[in-house]
Amino acid sequence: MKYLIKTYGCQMNVHESEKLAGILENMGYKVCEDEKDADLILFNTCAIRESAEQKIFAHIGELKKLKAQKKDMIIAICGCMSQQTGYPENILKKFPFVDIIFGTHNISELEDFILKRKSLKKKVVDIKENEDISNRDLMPKKRTSGINAWVNIMYGCNNFCTYCIVPYVRGREVSRPINDIKKEVENVVKEGYKQVTLLGQNVNSYGNDVGDENVNFANLLKTLDEIEGDFRLTFMTSHPKDISKEVIDIIAGSKHILHYLHLPVQSGSDKVLKAMNRRYTAENYFEKIEYAKSKIPDIEFSSDIIVGFPGETEEDFNDTMELVKKVQYEQLFMFIYSKRKGTVAEKMGNQVDLATKKDRLKRLIALQNEIGSKVAEKYIGKTVDVLVSDVHPKKQGYLIGTTFTNKNVNFAGDRSLIGKTVKVKIQSSKLTVLYGIMEEN
Ligand code: SAH
Ligand code: SF4
Ligand code: F3S
């Protein structure tokens, strides 16, 4: 029996697919690469933007023919798209050949769903609104991200940024017990993973749901940094309103935590930030950036930005451009605002037209290309410690890796170095990527 999982969306989904794969492998399924060989195809979906949904719908549609030839093949859909109100019904209407649909709260029940589908010969549609998170943490995991191990520290989001679907499809924040997280990190370090990435929609509010002031993100980082072993530690995603000076101080004094912070700003205009319900101003945000730079001089930043949020004027957009110039991000993830059903912003009257959105995105990309290139150029001539993550996907004889500031590096070397940290002298750069030569280690 063979399976194939198609994963869309964020790292949270990537890791949940590793857990779903764990269940399937325990059932005796083996992974395959070609849809034609699969007895089960599972779509782990995303709903963050309309474009994500369209892509997923197109991919599901492509399976119609194959399913007609292979009647016993099971097609299952889970994740954020299925969790939205009305979607399971819509999916079945559009794609009557789909066998199983479940949501974000009951992924630990995959085996049951498959067995039910097989024995009852009936479609299985099961969406829950809540769950006991310990079920998800007990799931077996088939880690597929090379030398990196993902570790959930919390689930859900309480922020309700007015554009965002995540709080509706992932539920409220629930933190994992600190000792469980510690044990999992100790285990993956023992197993030889060289990087641990902590996952949460808003890692800085870790512990807020527990009601004990000692259970917070700063203490969690401190605890994990004390674990012995050769590993790097990083996390995503931070919310600017919640990241504390204490967290930055801990990164500055830590042994394992990367000098890199993904701190999504979304907009540089206070008016837009307010309408987005982000609960900080551009000035508050920049103060945090400055504080981090003062404590960790080589730190690099990346960010997410939405252009064309309802009511965004040319002046608001220019505020975003100005903030981007001030911060000097290593990398930006830039998105055109997309209306999401059921969110507050969906009903805002002052939607920006598509041509304006596209034009703003183009200008922002051009600016960031310039800035990103400049940030990368500062590394030329320097020797940096590079953790080798894999062979280069296209260039034979080359390796890829990352610096302690999370910059991507390409250089010539042998695959036996994967998982090792080597010294590389940087010779050139192109946009966000550094190119160098390995030094004698
Ligand atoms: N929890 C994380 C990630 C959220 S989703 C955080 O708070 O940063 C990743 C990014 O998608 C967001 O940071 C935002 O920039 C973008 N995004 C979310 N909803 C969107 C929408 N409706 N339209 C366009 N981009 C959106
Ligand atoms: Fe969405 Fe905001 Fe929560 Fe991030 S913090 S997941 S952008 S609601
Ligand atoms: Fe998408 Fe869900 Fe992640 S909507 S971005 S997969 S939390």
**pLDDT tens digits for range 398-422:** 999 999 999 999 999 999 999 999 9
Which atom of ligand 1 lies at the shortest distance from residue 164's CA?
19
pLDDT of residue 122: 87
Where are the CATH 2.40.50.140 domain residues in the chain?
383-438
- E strand or H helix at 9: none
- Architecture per CATH, domain 2-126, reads as 3-Layer(aba) Sandwich (3.40)
DSSP 66: H
Task: Spell out the alpha helix ranges (H) of 161-227.
Answer: 166-170, 178-191, 217-225
pLDDT band at 195 (very low <50, low <70, confident <90, very high): very high
Q: Which residue has the tokens 């945000």?
A: 285
Where are the CATH 3.30.750.210 domain residues in the chain?
145-258
What would the DSSP string read from start to end of 291-325? HHHHHSTT-EEEEEEEES-TT--HHHHHHHHHHHH
Q: Residue 209 and residue 361: Cα distance in Å, rounded?
A: 37
Tell me the ligand closest to 237's alpha carbon: 1
State which fold the 383-438 domain adopts.
Answer: OB fold (Dihydrolipoamide Acetyltransferase, E2P) (2.40.50)
pLDDT band at 440 (very low <50, low <70, confident <90, very high): confident
Q: Which top CATH class is 145-258?
A: alpha beta
Which of 11, 12, 236 gets mutated to test ligand 3 (max ligand atoms within 8 A of its CB)? Answer: 12
Q: Residue 416 and residue 391: Cα distance in Å, rounded?
A: 10
CB 199 near ligand 3, within 6 Å: no
Nearest CA to ligand 1 atom 9: 304
pLDDT of residue 131: 83
Which residue type does 292 have? A
275 alpha carbon to ligand 1 midpoint, in Å? 15
Instruction: Decide the pairing of beta strands 232-236 and 260-262.
Output: unpaired
CB 161 near ligand 2, within 6 Å: yes
- For 109-128, write each residue's pLDDT tens digit: 999 999 999 998 889 999 99
* CA 403 distance to own-chain centroid: 19
Q: Which of 242, 133, 130, 226 is CA-nearest to residue 177?
A: 133
Q: Residue 392 and residue 329: Cα distance in Å, rounded?
A: 25
Q: Residue 274 and residue 345: Cα distance in Å, rounded?
A: 12
Residue 441 has pLDDT above 80, yes or no: no
DSSP 245: H
Angle between helices 217-225 and 245-253 (to 10 degrees): 10
Cβ burial, residue 329 (10 Å; 0-12/13-18/19+)? buried
Which of 201, 241, 337 gets mutated to test ligand 2 (max ligand atoms within 8 A of its CB)? Answer: 201
**252-280 burial: b if 16+ Cβ within 10 Å, else e:** eebebbbbbbbbbbbbbbbebbebbebeb
Q: Residue 229 and residue 39: Cα distance in Å, rounded?
A: 41
Choose the CATH number for 271-377 among 1.10.287.3510, 3.30.465.10, 3.10.510.20, 3.30.750.200.
3.30.750.200
Where are the CATH 3.30.750.200 domain residues in the chain?
271-377
CB 157 near ligand 2, within 6 Å: yes
CB 15 near ligand 3, within 6 Å: no
Nearest CA to ligand 2 atom 2: 161
Where are the CATH 3.40.50.12160 domain residues in the chain?
2-126
CB 344 near ligand 2, within 6 Å: no
Residue 438 has pLDDT above 90, yes or no: yes
In this prediction, residues 309-315 reach a mean pLDDT of 98
Torsion from C-alpha of 18, 19, 24, 27, nearest 10 degrees? 140
341 alpha carbon to ligand 3 midpoint, in Å? 15
- E strand or H helix at 332: strand 331-336
Residue 38 has pLDDT above 90, yes or no: yes
Which atom of ligand 3 lies at the shortest distance from residue 52's CA?
1
Give whole-number Cα distances, 30 to 136, 142, 176, in Å.
Answer: 21, 11, 30
